[in-house]
Amino acid sequence: MTVEIICVGTELLLGSIVNTNAAYLAEQCAGLGLSCYYQSVVGDNRERLAELIKTAAARSDILLISGGLGPTQDDLTKETVAEAFGLSLTEDENTRRRIAQYFEKRGMELTDNNWKQAQVPEGCLVLDNENGTAPGMIVKSGERHIVLMPGPPGELCPMFESKVRPYLEKLEPGVILSQTVKIYGVSESLVETKIEDLLAGQKNPTIAPYARLGEVHLRVTAKAADEKEAKKLIKPVVRELKARFGGDVYSTDADTTLEKSVVDLLLAANLTVTTAESCTGGMLASRLINVAGISEIYKSGYVTYSNKAKRHMLGVKKTTLTKYGAVSEKVAGEMAKGAALFTKSDVAVAVTGIAGPDGGTKEKPVGLVYISCQVCGKLTVKEYRFSGERRKIRESATACALMQLRRCLLEYCGTKTFGKDKG
Amino acid sequence: MTVEIICVGTELLLGSIVNTNAAYLAEQCAGLGLSCYYQSVVGDNRERLAELIKTAAARSDILLISGGLGPTQDDLTKETVAEAFGLSLTEDENTRRRIAQYFEKRGMELTDNNWKQAQVPEGCLVLDNENGTAPGMIVKSGERHIVLMPGPPGELCPMFESKVRPYLEKLEPGVILSQTVKIYGVSESLVETKIEDLLAGQKNPTIAPYARLGEVHLRVTAKAADEKEAKKLIKPVVRELKARFGGDVYSTDADTTLEKSVVDLLLAANLTVTTAESCTGGMLASRLINVAGISEIYKSGYVTYSNKAKRHMLGVKKTTLTKYGAVSEKVAGEMAKGAALFTKSDVAVAVTGIAGPDGGTKEKPVGLVYISCQVCGKLTVKEYRFSGERRKIRESATACALMQLRRCLLEYCGTKTFGKDKG
């Protein structure tokens, strides 16, 4: 079956709030094996809403409509839906009781327009709202199911969980399951070329590439009678993708970020890590520290923005700075060495570069970045050239530092045996 | 004129990502005085996209379309738009050159499908992409303007700023001018209550509130025959808003971020600054270093995640750590003092707290954070309690650190006279 998501609200059209309801409902529907082809946002305007509902009902089996169920004059979703399907509004006694209790419980004054929320389209299924006054409603018209939900996420999400999903689950058997293969350091187009044959004429499971900062995520989605069957469909595809991209795949778990995959490697090998950052100025440390449990292996790090700081905090030689300049392979190397030495860490990552907008020269343009990784004494320094504005360059450098560190760790783990005793 | 926003992407229909582009574009259009009545999301599907474009072109003057400009098979926005308006695709030499340079610069492997991105609808206006390979395009068909932009926000936003907005500004006679009053540390609902009377029945200029992390931005937009006239309309409203929110207003300039407002104060007072971070782990340093020109006043900073690091790098007393614990007012204070001392900085900001998910106790729950600012010897330490997941807590702490620093700097500047001689 097909589902269509309609979010009603002028604040969405003004961009005052981000439409998280649409993302939430879309993800829920995907999990239910419902195909969603359209999402729409429309204001609290009877004519345009009516037109949209007519269009949607003509092309989709299920309409999920959120917002516009409030007590004020400009809330008219319910009225418009009733009109569109030739239904009159009647008062729902239970809802009237619920609203009265809601206000009484909070000692709030109840105004006449609150009773507007007890009005529902005749013959609809009323969904009690445990977190607000506006009830949800399901109108059945021919083969169409029109679901009305309140706009506030704090009311919509619990109502969907407890009442709408069970209703939808009964409409269609089967589940959709997804697994994501996360690849880094390979351009989206190159990824695509490498799996052209898999993408060509794919049916079930499907592979969808999503580009992320320096990464490509391949989402493998299967539709099947049950979870076990869906997993069986996904497994060989994921295996094939891992075979094709090898070490560039850093995870097949949707919740594992690049930084987490790096931290997991460090924890497994029981290696402590530190950072020394110039142009990224704390961004690398911050991404590592996003990972809960990092405290076991990350004790301290440096932001060494000036040459003096590089010398005093990391022991970079004055001669190296004068001879090669702060943005150089040599300085990057000495930064990592010094950081590892002074913090007594097994692993050190250092970044030095020109983030711009100023400070670039013909020989050393804005975007030139050197990243060094020292893993148990073995130093690797790489040169990168990034483009974009200051923030973009810093974000790219941070992502590349994580990628480079991961590669160095894999190499180290390949040569050494894992997990020297903890503590 | 009316504008319609169309976001193309299966990942949006699957709910894999939240549609921040729609909110961004909607906010920008509101600022330009363009009326947006519809937002739509459709997948990478030629037939459905074509149908949507037809409908949109029939009811809106301007179509803003984002996504589906990538090099892969499932990217077909450009092709569909060209077909819908009876245009053929031709290669844009400049874009081909740009793409070649882009890959060369990164030493990345260029594959044939990359050249697909150099194909553009005949006679369209090509918008260079400074942050990626996919160019933007503006197709003019009769009275309609169809704007195509890449999906990644890091590419879309800068392109809109530098190329699309100037184009849209020229479309309507007269000018729309906006000024944003940026408020921090006040809840959105409280802000709205304080200006209820101004919001009620407003016409020209209008005030639109936008909630940001720990901030509320009030955008005042005026429509007038010329800029002078528009400014005259905006001025008294901005003055009134500044009067109502006083010191909580940190800027009335759209491009001034909270970190920039802090750096500007530091530069004006010619004060050097350093950071010492535990739970925020580099996030604060990173935000400061987002500001170009920071190198003049920010030389170095510390990430002291472990107790040992707090002692060895910042000279926090062992007794203080054992007696009060790492997350305490006292330790936060000693961290700032030590950082200022060891880096010889006029100003130091330190953060220590429990970001979770583990490590919380009944006395010291997850979300408890102490932030200290030392400005020329004067120390201020504050306690905060944040909620949400690890990242959210760290982001809130970083924002509050900037706010607290700003307040301390204003206080200092109030007492001292500005700008001791530079250098």
A239-295 pLDDT tens trace: 999 999 988 899 999 889 999 999 999 999 999 999 999 999 999 999 999 999 999
**Is pLDDT above 90 for B183?**
yes
A347-402 pLDDT tens trace: 999 999 999 999 999 999 999 999 999 999 999 999 999 988 899 899 999 999 99
Q: Give the residue from A188, A184, A211, A213 showing the smallest Cα distance to A391.
A: A213
Q: What is the largest CA-CA distance in chain A?
A: 85
Q: How far is A402 from chain B (nearest CA, A)?
A: 15
As its CATH architecture, domain B175-251 has 2-Layer Sandwich (3.30)
Kindly state the DSSP code that residue A256 receives in the 8-state scheme: -
**Is pLDDT above 80 for B196?**
yes
DSSP-assigned beta bridge partners for residue B184: B215
Instruction: Decide if A219 and B14 are in contact by the 8 Å CB cutoff.
Output: yes
Compute the average pLDDT of residues B194-198: 88
Check residue A237 and give its pLDDT.
96
Distance CA B274, CA B277 (A): 10
Q: Are strands B35-42 and B2-8 parallel, antiparallel or unpaired?
A: parallel
- Band of residue B193 on the pLDDT scale cut at 50, 70, 90: confident
On chain A, the residues whose CB falls within 8 A of the CB of B281 are 282, 285-286, 288-289, 298, 301
**What is this structure's pTM?**
0.77
Q: Which of A188, A196, A284 sits opposite B70 (nearest CB)?
A: A188
Q: Which of B113, B286, B343 sits opposite A281 (nearest CB)?
A: B286
Q: Which of B16, B299, B312 sits opposite A306 (nearest CB)?
A: B299
**In the sheet that B175-184 helps form, which strands lie side by side, from edge to edge?**
B206-212, B215-224, B175-184, B249-251
Question: Residue ranges per domain, chain A?
Answer: 2-169, 175-251, 258-413
On chain A, the residues whose CB falls within 8 A of the CB of B15 are 22-30
**Is pLDDT above 50 for A208?**
yes
Distance CA A100, CA B238 (A): 42
**Range A258-413 classified under CATH 3.90.950.20:** yes
CA geometry: angle A277, A281, A285, nearest 5 deg: 70
B313-370 pLDDT tens trace: 999 999 999 999 999 999 999 999 999 999 999 999 999 999 999 999 999 999 999 9
- Band of residue A423 on the pLDDT scale cut at 50, 70, 90: very low
Task: Tell me the C-alpha to C-alpha distance, in Å, between residue B282 and each of A338, B30, B230, B276, B349.
Answer: 19, 35, 42, 8, 12
Instruction: Decide if B303 and A300 are in contact by the 8 Å CB cutoff.
Output: yes
Q: How far is A131 from chain B (nearest CA, A)?
A: 19
Q: Which of B103, B209, B304 sits opposite A16 (nearest CB)?
A: B209
Q: Minimal Cα distance from B278: which residue of A?
A: A300
Give the list of residues 6+ apart from residue A212 with CB closer than 8 angstroms, or none: none
SS (H, E, C) A393-416: HHHHHHHHHHHHHHHHHHHHHHHC
Compute the average pLDDT of residues B155-163: 96
Instruction: Decide if A38 and B28 are in contact by the 8 Å CB cutoff.
Output: no
Q: Minimal Cα distance from B128: which residue of A?
A: A388
Provide, rounded to the nearest whole percent, the portion of chain A with pLDDT above 90: 70
Q: Which of B19, B283, B298 sits opposite A305 (nearest CB)?
A: B298
Structure tokens at A135: 């009830």
Q: CB–CB of A180/A220 below 8 Å?
A: yes
Distance CA B375, CA B222 (A): 40
Q: CB–CB of A144/A63 below 8 Å?
A: yes
Q: CB–CB of A54/A19 below 8 Å?
A: no
Distance CA A251, CA A314 (A): 33
Q: Which of B16, B48, B290 sits opposite A391 (nearest CB)?
A: B290
Q: Give the residue from B72, B99, B76 showing the smallest Cα distance to B89.
A: B76
User: What is the overall mean pLDDT for chain B?
Assistant: 92
- Band of residue A219 on the pLDDT scale cut at 50, 70, 90: confident
DSSP-assigned beta bridge partners for residue B140: B145
**Is pLDDT above 80 for B190?**
no
Check residue A150 and give its pLDDT.
93
Task: Tell me the C-alpha to C-alpha distance, in Å, between residue A391 and each of A265, A397, B11, B292.
Answer: 28, 10, 25, 10
DSSP-assigned beta bridge partners for residue A378: A375
Q: Are strands A175-184 and A2-8 parallel, antiparallel or unpaired?
A: unpaired
Instruction: Decide if B306 and A300 are in contact by the 8 Å CB cutoff.
Output: yes
SS (H, E, C) chain B: CEEEEEEECHHHHCCCCCCHHHHHHHHHHHHCCCEEEEEEEECCCHHHHHHHHHHHHHHCCEEEEECCCCCCCCCCHHHHHHHHCCCCEEECHHHHHHHHHHHHHHCCCCCHHHHHHHEEECCCEEECCCCCCCCEEEEEECCEEEEEECCCHHHHHHHHHHHHHHHHHCCCCCEEEEEEEEEECCCHHHHHHHCHHHHCCCCCCEEEEEEECCEEEEEEEEEECCHHHHHHHHHHHHHHHHHHHHHHEEECCCCCCHHHHHHHHHHHCCCCEEEEECCCCCHHHHHHHCCCCHHHCECEEEEECCHHHHHHHHCCCHHHHHHHCCCCHHHHHHHHHHHHHHHCCCEEEEEEECCCCCCCCCCCCCCEEEEEEEECCEEEEEEEECCCCHHHHHHHHHHHHHHHHHHHHHHHHHHCCCCCCCC
Structure tokens at A345: 């860490």
Q: CB–CB of A161/A24 below 8 Å?
A: no
Q: CB–CB of B372/B381 below 8 Å?
A: yes
Q: How many CB atoms lie within 10 A of CB B413?
A: 16
CA geometry: angle A218, A224, A226, nearest 5 deg: 115
Measure the N-to-C terminal CA separation of chain B; round to a whole number of Å.
53
Check residue B422 and give its pLDDT.
36
- Tallying the residues shown for chain A, one arrives at 423
- Tallying the residues shown for chain B, one arrives at 423
User: What is the overall mean pLDDT for chain A?
Assistant: 91
Pairwise pLDDT comparison (B112 vs B168), residue with the higher score: B168
On chain B, the residues whose CB falls within 8 A of the CB of A357 are 292
Q: Minimal Cα distance from B281: which residue of A?
A: A286
A245-257 pLDDT tens trace: 988 899 999 889 9
Compute the count of residue pairs across chains A and B with CB atoms less than 8 Å apart: 280
Distance CA A374, CA A382 (A): 12
- Band of residue B225 on the pLDDT scale cut at 50, 70, 90: confident
Mutate to test the interface with A, among B39, B49, B105 (most CBs of A within 10 A): B39
**Is pLDDT above 80 for A227?**
yes
Check residue A419 and give its pLDDT.
39
On chain A, the residues whose CB falls within 8 A of the CB of B305 are 289, 294-295, 298-301
Check residue B278 and give its pLDDT.
97
**Is pLDDT above 80 for A210?**
no
Q: Minimal Cα distance from B48: which residue of A?
A: A37
Q: CB–CB of B12/A21 below 8 Å?
A: no
B251-305 pLDDT tens trace: 999 889 999 999 999 999 999 999 999 999 999 999 999 999 999 999 999 999 9
B75-107 pLDDT tens trace: 999 999 999 999 999 999 999 999 999 888 888
Distance CA A274, CA A289 (A): 11
A101-130 pLDDT tens trace: 888 877 777 777 788 899 999 999 999 998
Check residue A134 and give its pLDDT.
92
Helix (H, G, I), strand (E, B), or coil: what is residue A368? strand
Class of A2-169 per CATH?
Answer: alpha beta
Check residue A97 and give its pLDDT.
94
**Is pLDDT above 60 for A420?**
no
Q: Give the residue from A179, A264, A180, A263 showing the smallest Cα distance to A216.
A: A180
Q: Give the residue from B64, B89, B412, B127 showing the smallest Cα distance to B271.
A: B412
Return phi, psi of residue B301, to 5°: -150, 170
Instruction: Decide if B301 and A303 are in contact by the 8 Å CB cutoff.
Output: yes
Check residue B420 and give its pLDDT.
40
Distance CA A370, CA A257 (A): 23
Instruction: Decide if A37 and B20 are in contact by the 8 Å CB cutoff.
Output: no
Provide, rounded to the nearest whole percent, the portion of chain B with pLDDT above 70: 97
Instruction: Decide if A292 and B357 are in contact by the 8 Å CB cutoff.
Output: yes
